[in-house]
Amino acid sequence: MGIEQLRGASTAMRIAGLAMAVSLAVNVTPAAAWTYKEAAEPYKGATIRVLDEITPLQEILKTIVPEFTAETGINVEYELLNHFEVINKGQADMLSGRGYYDAIMLHGFQVGPMLSAGALMAIDEMVADKALMNPDFDEADMINPAYATTAVSGGKRYGFINWNYNQIYWARGDLLSHPDEMAAFKAKYGYELKPASTFKELRDVAEFFTRPAGATLAGETLESDFYGIVMEGIKGGSTFLSLWGNFMKSYGGDIVDASGKPAFDTPENIAAIKTWAELWKFAPPGMAEYSLIDVPTVMGNGIAAQAIAWSDFVLGIDKDGVSPYSGKFVYGPIPHKEGMVEARSVEAEPSVTVISTHTENPEATFLFLQWLAERRQQEALLKAGQGGVPIRESSWALPVMQNGKLAGLFKAMESSLEVATGKPKMPDFYELYDVLTGISQEIGLGRLSPEEGAKKAQAAMLDICDPCLLN
Amino acid sequence: MQRTLTARDAFRRKTLWTALVVAAAAFILFPVIWMIGMMVKPTDIMFARPTEWLFVPTLEHFNYVFEQKFHHYLLTSVLLGLISTLLVVIIGTPAAYSFARFEMRGKDDLFLFVLASRMAPPVCLVIPYYLIFARIDLLDTFIGLTLAYMTFNLSFYIWVLRSFCRDLPAELEDAARLEGWSRVQIFRRIVLPLLRNGIVATSVLCFIFAWNEFLFAFMLGGKAVKTLPVAIPTLITTQGVRWGEMAVVGMVALAPVLIAVFFLQRHIVRGLTMGAVKG
Amino acid sequence: MTDVPIEDMPNQGGPSKAVVKRQPSHGEPVWYPYLLMAPAMITLTIVALLPFLFAVFISFHEMKFGKFGDFAGFGNYVELLSDGRFWNALGVAVLFVAIAVPLEFMLGLTGALVLSRPIWGRSVLIPFLFIPTMMAPIVVGLLWKIMLAGSWGLLSYNVIEPLGLAGETSIFASPDYALFALIFVDIWQWTPFMMLAFFAGLQALPINPFRAAAVDGANPIQRFFWLTLPMMTPLLVVIGLLRLIDAFKVFDSIFILTGGGPGTQTEMPSVLAYKMTFEFWNIGEASALAVVVWVLFFVFCNVFYQVAKKKLNAF
């Protein structure tokens, strides 16, 4: 089908997803009687081990895993570890050939390195196998382009999407709708104060709300400094990913060209970096040490007016008893470049659970992964968790996602996931990311100008890989 | 002039020095005291600005810690710490004694070998360990971690205890030998009792090192053998960081060591001299 | 009360040493000392030497992503030694150790001298003073994050930022201050260890030379430099060397507080090795780094050992 050729534009991604579904429909004749019980018959009694990352959603998932065993007779040891453990130990397990786990959750960026190490088993044959694949699975319902760009490489599928980390725009609604502030903003910038939808608005709102202690904010005197925006800035974390996914790509740039050659010092990228670096002026002074831990902490404690943050972390902050500002927050899509809404891009980290090449039970594992991604399980999960980050388009319509206090957040997520893609498959992703984060920090801290930084980054990239894409 | 110091002066001086030490301790331990407060501080005002110094305490953080079975990890940590320390004492004591007491061929080289085993950054030994353990099924076992902990604890133990052994009076042993005591008797009835302080002090330090170790426990442990330091980062969740819970676990992790040091300090203070002070 | 002789014996000075010289094996057969050592040597061979040799083996191979590739000769070493990041990491470590260890040393000694004055409730104070050393490094890292994190850290907010101490940025985010902040954390954690060890040493000093010096009219400062310091030297050397080796390998707190940043300002060799291993999965080069660091230490310790043994009678 040439799925890979279609990558690039977001509409093409959707087509890709559909194309996969079509090919699926052709392969599978409607067999009404397909059940997990029957499909699992040959693998009854097998035990599979699955490693996933601990989140409240996965903890709920863990409670429904026994249902799969009851249905199929396949035993599942479903292990939850934290973010770093899943990456380090999961990779160590696959790369060392230990093969303790049959399936392991991979963040999108891990897929490239693991593919190039030959650690992942493609699932296409099993998808095509009528005995194994539920004809009603509805693969086209998986959120795209995230699914097609993350789980598919070189025309092969490596798993179903597992979850969809994504970033959103997060702001203090109480401040943005305060009459005094609205009047002052209008007077200064000549347009209405509202949640930012473009980079220019993001910058203006950030500048407007950056105030020293003693100044007035929303009618009250500030006891300490207040800032216009907060983002990640630490070495590691998603500092560079946010610059890349949210800014550079929205300017029409990227870090590699179509052939995979490093292309960091393009005018588009430099313009994007300028926009990003200027925001540092309106951010808390310690932003270069801020990780995804600090950003929600800063927002939750009322230190900044806006943030670009991971939406799943917001779930933990916008709760009564956690932040005094809970209920006052508003959410929106990540802003885009003025006049370039069609190029908008959002940093996201869709993840897949992959089957290790060392597994002895690929079919049983496949059945389990398929079962997890079924609509039934996904809906049960979101209901039990009172919302969350969905992996299926149909999940957006669930009452729990539409109503309730966090409906605005879910709306923003949906917008992010309309354009969110997986990371390009880069074998040297980690080296690139480490070096480019360091350079980004230097630009943010004003030690390098955007032009110098871009030049340095280009040289550093060429030093690591050329071309940088797999295949 | 010194002899004219009155009891009153001595009392004053003592009080003054005590006040100084207490003030210094309070200053040094301020972050720890703050962390103790965090154990019972409600989440929504944890980092409020301006800082909330007074608040109504809550026990919610403790509940979560118990729900998440942190007491299991505590037990694992205690067991692993005790087993690995005990093994180090059993294996290391005769070696330290031998190094201190006897002259022999190649002694300096052997001693450097002991020292050298502590020099490589542990990060770099983790992968060889992982690959070997994966092959012989020692990942996620007490035995595996106990072995790994010996890389840093055994050499430390021998090194430190050796300086202590050096100052044991050889005459006692020589006399016992003339009396016809066996080697085992000499070791058990003379050497070990005299070494008690040194052994306690050094093994408490070894226990602390094992207790706090992170990297080996993280990579070579797993579901079955999970220690407290490894469990702590699980409180950094995608739903934010559970700071209160982290404070609870951090302080709970401190408690057993603090209690041990409290009761064993007499031995530790004596033992820590490592017999290295020359009169 | 059985341990009374222990306090007295060492203080008699020399005799045990003299006996050792005269009677090296105390009438025991030649194999006896080796027998006593055997379990430890065998254990160390298994737990330390074999994994290390394995690392050496890996360092001579192409090993990316956990799979053995071709024999690479010194390829990994060439790559490592021509990598600016490695030299940067060494430089950072040398700076770190050169500042942290002497300061810990001096503060520890001062603390020990103060602590050995007559004070009330010393046995209660000592365990509490020892707390920083007893805490897991990972907790120490998080604790100082809570204290010094930009804007929301307790001390940042209440002290550093009102006074403008860190300028435009926060402590851990500042290219100029981040390393010093980490050194500060290390000093906080390890000075108590030094202090307690030195305090123990002071407690064990024999009283007679001090009486004699007092009779001769030596003032406290003279007594410190003429008596205390020389007698403490062996202890100071052992503790100092131990701390030096450990300070060079600091990892947990850096990883939590700065991740090696900003840029590569705080990237110590162990942090670089971690990245090479678990992020880049370039195990070959990481192993080469281990071997190089090990060789540096080995040479250093060897020289140090010989000198200390001859000049300071420290081992």
Residue A308, pLDDT score:
96
Chain B interface includes A312 (CB < 8 A): yes
Rg over alpha carbons for chain C, rounded to the nearest Å, is 24
Q: Is residue A417 part of a domain?
A: no
Structure tokens at B234: 């699980």
Structure tokens at B111: 């001693």
Cα distances (angstroms) measured from residue A411 to each of A169, A288, A345, A397, B21: 11, 30, 16, 11, 58
Q: Which residue has the higher pLDDT, C204 or C276?
A: C276
Instruction: Compute the nearest-CA separation of C277 from chain A (Å).
Output: 9
How many angstroms separate the most distant Cα atoms in chain A? 73
Chain C interface includes B5 (CB < 8 A): no
Average pLDDT over residues A12-19: 50
Residue A131, pLDDT score:
92
Interface with chain A: mutation pick from C54, C64, C65, C271, highest number of A CBs within 10 Å:
C65
Q: Inter-chain contact C50–B132, Cβ cutoff 8 Å?
A: yes
Q: Taking 50 as the threshold, does the pLDDT of residue C5 lie above it?
A: no
Q: Which of A128-137, A170-179, A379-388, B143-152 has the lowest mean pLDDT?
A: A379-388
Q: Is there a single domain that holds both residue A131 and residue A206?
A: no
Q: Taking 50 as the threshold, does the pLDDT of residue B248 lie above it?
A: yes
Residue A19, pLDDT score:
53
Q: What is the pLDDT of residues C173-211, one digit of tens each?
A: 888 888 999 999 999 999 998 998 888 888 877 777 878
Q: Is residue A420 part of a domain?
A: no
Residue B30: pLDDT band (50, 70, 90) is very high
Q: What is the pLDDT of residues A76-132, one digit of tens each?
A: 999 888 777 888 889 988 888 888 999 999 998 888 889 888 899 999 999 999 999
Q: Inter-chain contact A92–C66, Cβ cutoff 8 Å?
A: yes
Residue C13: pLDDT band (50, 70, 90) is very low
Average pLDDT over residues A218-246: 91
The rounded mean pLDDT for chain A is: 88
Instruction: Compute the nearest-CA separation of B10 from chain C (Å).
Output: 9
Chain B interface includes A300 (CB < 8 A): yes
Interface with chain A: mutation pick from B44, B46, B123, B132, highest number of A CBs within 10 Å:
B44
Query: What pTM did the predictor assign?
Result: 0.82
The rounded mean pLDDT for chain B is: 85
Q: Taking 70 as the threshold, does the pLDDT of residue A3 lie above it?
A: no
Q: Taking 80 as the threshold, does the pLDDT of residue B133 lie above it?
A: yes
Residue B273, pLDDT score:
59
Residue C22: pLDDT band (50, 70, 90) is very low
Interface with chain C: mutation pick from A289, A295, A442, A463, highest number of C CBs within 10 Å:
A289
Q: What count of Cα atoms within 13 Å lies in the side-chain half-sphere of residue A168?
A: 29
Average pLDDT over residues A316-320: 82
Q: Taking 80 as the threshold, does the pLDDT of residue C308 lie above it?
A: no
Q: What is the pLDDT of residues A408-433, one digit of tens each?
A: 999 999 999 999 998 888 888 888 98
Q: Is residue C218 part of a domain?
A: yes
Range of the domain at A367: 3-157+349-412
Backbone angles phi, psi at C106, to 5 degrees: -70, -45
Q: Is residue C186 part of a domain?
A: yes
Q: Across the interface, which of B43, B50, B218 has its CB nearest the CB of A224? A: B50
Q: Taking 50 as the threshold, does the pLDDT of residue C2 lie above it?
A: no
% of chain A exceeding 90 in pLDDT: 62
Kindly tell me the sign of the dihedral angle through the C-alpha atoms of B135, B136, B141, B147. Answer: negative
Backbone angles phi, psi at A373, to 5 degrees: -85, 0
Average pLDDT over residues C35-59: 90
CB contacts of A56 in chain B (<8 Å) are 237-239
Q: Is there a single domain that holds both residue A333 and residue A359?
A: no
Instruction: Give the CA dihedral C28, C29, C34, C35, nearest 10 degrees.
Output: -80
CB contacts of B238 in chain A (<8 Å) are 53, 55-56, 83, 165, 310, 312-313, 315-316
CB contacts of B136 in chain A (<8 Å) are none
Q: Inter-chain contact B279–C142, Cβ cutoff 8 Å?
A: no
CATH code (residue A93): 3.40.190.10
Q: Is residue A469 part of a domain?
A: no
Q: Taking 90 as the threshold, does the pLDDT of residue A27 lie above it?
A: no
Chain C interface includes B164 (CB < 8 A): no
Rg over alpha carbons for chain B, rounded to the nearest Å, is 24
Q: Is there a single domain that holds both residue A37 and residue A179?
A: no
CB contacts of B131 in chain A (<8 Å) are 96
Q: Is residue C31 part of a domain?
A: no
3-state SS of chain B is CHHHCCHHHHHHHHHHHHHHHHHHHHHHCHHHHHHHHHCCCCHHHCCCCCCCCCCCCCCHHHHHHHHCCHHHHHHHHHHHHHHHHHHHHHHHHHHHHHHHHCCCCCHHHHHHHHHHCCCCCHHHHHHHHHHHHHHCCCCCCHHHHHHHHHHHHHHHHHHHHHHHHCCCCHHHHHHHHHCCCCHHHHHHHHHHHHHHHHHHHHHHHHHHHHHHCCHHHHHHCCCCCCCHHHHHHHHEECCEECHHHHHHHHHHHHHHHHHHHHHHHHHHHHHCCCCCCCC
Residue C206, pLDDT score:
77
Instruction: Compute the nearest-CA separation of C184 from chain A (Å).
Output: 17
Do B162 and B202 contact (CB within 8 A), yes or no? Answer: no
Q: Is there a single domain that holds both residue A183 and residue A221?
A: yes
Residue B240, pLDDT score:
65
Q: Is residue C52 part of a domain?
A: no
Q: Inter-chain contact A97–C66, Cβ cutoff 8 Å?
A: yes
Residue A243, pLDDT score:
95
Q: Which residue has the higher pLDDT, C157 or B86?
A: B86
Q: Is residue C116 part of a domain?
A: yes
Q: Taking 90 as the threshold, does the pLDDT of residue B201 lie above it?
A: no
C 12-51: CB under 8 A from A: none
The rounded mean pLDDT for chain C is: 82
Kindly tell me the sign of the dihedral angle through the C-alpha atoms of B269, B270, B271, B276. Answer: positive
Average pLDDT over residues A38-47: 93
Q: What is the DSSP letter of A302?
A: T
Range of the domain at C252: 84-312
Residue A6, pLDDT score:
33
CB contacts of C158 in chain B (<8 Å) are 51
Domain ranges in chain B are: 2-38, 61-271
A 152-171: CB under 8 A from B: 165
Residue A141, pLDDT score:
94
CATH number for region B61-271:
1.10.3720.10
Q: Is there a single domain that holds both residue A27 and residue A131?
A: yes
Residue C19, pLDDT score:
41
Average pLDDT over residues A240-255: 94
Chain B interface includes A147 (CB < 8 A): no
Residue C4, pLDDT score:
35
Burial (0-12, 13-18, 19+ Cβ within 10 Å), C245: middle
% of chain B exceeding 70 in pLDDT: 93
Q: Inter-chain contact B103–C20, Cβ cutoff 8 Å?
A: yes
Chain A interface includes B139 (CB < 8 A): yes
CB contacts of C161 in chain B (<8 Å) are none
CB contacts of B154 in chain C (<8 Å) are 40, 43-44, 47
Residue A453: pLDDT band (50, 70, 90) is very high
Which amino acid, residue A60? I
Q: Taking 90 as the threshold, does the pLDDT of residue B144 lie above it?
A: yes
Name the residue in chain C with its Cα closest to that of B273.
C201
- Give the helix/strand (H/E) hosting A381: helix A375-384
CB contacts of C252 in chain B (<8 Å) are 214-215
Residue C7, pLDDT score:
35
Angle of the B60-67 helix axis to the B70-101 helix axis, nearest 10: 70
Q: How far apart are CA B198 and CA B202, in angstroms?
A: 6
Q: Taking 80 as the threshold, does the pLDDT of residue A32 lie above it?
A: no
Q: Is residue A406 part of a domain?
A: yes
Q: Across the interface, which of B98, B197, B233 has its CB nearest the CB of C3? A: B197
The per-residue b/e assignment along C211-233, b for 16 or more CB within 10 angstroms, e otherwise, is: eebeeeebeeeebeeebbeebbb
Q: Which of A16-25, A456-465, C153-162 has the lowest mean pLDDT?
A: A16-25
The number of C-beta contacts closer than 8 angstroms across A and C is 121
B 239-278: CB under 8 A from C: 243, 246, 250, 253-254, 257-258, 261-262, 265-266, 268-278
Q: How far apart are CA A393 and CA A391, in angstroms?
A: 7
Average pLDDT over residues A209-229: 92
- Residues forming beta bridges with residue A170, ordered by sequence position: A307, A331
Q: Is residue A421 part of a domain?
A: no
Kindly tell me the sign of the dihedral angle through the C-alpha atoms of A457, A458, A464, A467. Answer: positive
Structure tokens at C304: 């140090």
CATH code (residue C137): 1.10.3720.10
Q: What count of Cα atoms within 13 Å lies in the side-chain half-sphere of residue C39?
A: 16
Q: Is there a single domain that holds both residue A130 and residue A251?
A: no
Interface with chain B: mutation pick from A51, A89, A290, highest number of B CBs within 10 Å:
A89
Average pLDDT over residues B97-116: 84
Q: How far apart are CA A437 and CA A423, in angstroms?
A: 16
